[in-house]
Amino acid sequence: MIHHLNCATLRPIGSFGGRVGPPRIVAHCLLVERSKGLTLVDSGFGRDDIARPARLGRPFVAALRPTLVEAETAAAQVVALGHRVDEVTDIVLTHLDLDHAGGIADFPHARIHVYGAELDAALNPALRERARYVQGQWAHGPQWVRHEVAGDDWLGFEAVTALTDDVLLVPLHGHTRGHCGVAVRRPEGGWLLHAGDAYFDAGEKETPPHAVPGLRLFQRLMAVDDGQRVANQARLRELHAARSAEVTIFSAHDATEYDALAASRRA
């Protein structure tokens, strides 16, 4: 079974009722029940982030206004679903930005799967990268599992197997050095593709693409390679147009995508 979790809610300033930016942003994570344990895809904010929000950076907190409630942490939601925290054996990350990696410290015994270039960026960030990575989120010394593309193919994309053949890292670089999507095989057939921050607005996977202006600007400013980011968005649009019956694509932060998928699992 696959659960859709929101592991952080943000209410950015200056949304102007959704005309400039979204009034609500989520941190869409997955909890995958597998025969050998539980797997998280992304982790949102962790308990230490809730307890010490200053470490996220005052500009981030002031501009994005995170709700910072413990009930939204992945650890709290795992327990609420009737599991133990130590049943989470693996966490597969799209990237290590502070709103994706904060929860890993709440699962100290889990293996943390990440693309090699992303791990390098987070552990040794360039000057312009430093604000996006919070070193305290992995001060506990995680069990990193470093991945590189190994010649696998997933629906025309390069991929690397993270966990057997049902959880794959799909490189979608641009937002960060080693940003990836994570493809998860659905028990009923087909795939989910957690596209991370490859796009922010659901309209960007449609043809022609559209997004509110604030998000378009934010993505350009945050990208380490905007040309690569734009090219990967185009590839995702092609995949969505050609194979939407087989692959459900969603981003980390679009609240409408999260609401629809979470509701479908409860129905």
Over residues 10-24, mean pLDDT: 92
Q: What token pair was written down for 185?
A: 């095989």
Claim: this prediction has a pTM higher than 0.85: yes
Report percent pLDDT > 70 for the chain: 99
Q: Say which CATH superfamily domain 2-266 falls into.
A: Ribonuclease Z/Hydroxyacylglutathione hydrolase-like (3.60.15.10)
Residue 255 near residue 27, CB atoms below 8 Å: no
Residue-wise pLDDT for 125-183, tens only, equals 999 999 999 999 999 999 999 999 877 789 999 888 888 889 999 999 999 999 999 99
Residue 183 near residue 159, CB atoms below 8 Å: yes
Judge whether residue 77 has pLDDT over 90. Answer: yes
Residue-wise pLDDT for 181-226, tens only, equals 999 999 999 999 999 999 999 999 999 999 999 999 999 999 999 9
Residue 37 near residue 87, CB atoms below 8 Å: yes
Q: What is the DSSP letter of 129?
A: G
Q: What was the pLDDT predicted at 267?
A: 46
Q: What was the pLDDT predicted at 17?
A: 86
Alpha helices, H only, the chain: 47-51, 58-64, 74-80, 98-101, 116-123, 213-222, 226-243, 255-266
Confidence of residue 11 (pLDDT cuts 50, 70, 90): very high
Judge whether residue 95 has pLDDT over 50. Answer: yes
At CA 97, angle to CA 96 and CA 99, rounded to 5? 115
Judge whether residue 266 has pLDDT over 70. Answer: no
Residue scoring higher pLDDT (261 or 149):
261
Judge whether residue 20 has pLDDT over 80. Answer: yes
Q: What token pair was written down for 34?
A: 């597998």
- Tell me the average pLDDT of the chain: 95
Residue 40 near residue 88, CB atoms below 8 Å: yes
Judge whether residue 83 has pLDDT over 50. Answer: yes
Residue-wise pLDDT for 26-63, tens only, equals 999 999 998 889 999 999 999 999 999 999 999 999 99
The three-state DSSP-derived secondary structure of 167-229 is: EEEEECCCCCCCCEEEEEECCCCCEEEECCCCCCCHHHHCCCCCCCHHHHHHHHHHCCCHHHH
E strand or H helix that includes residue 26: strand 25-34
Q: What was the pLDDT predicted at 91?
A: 98
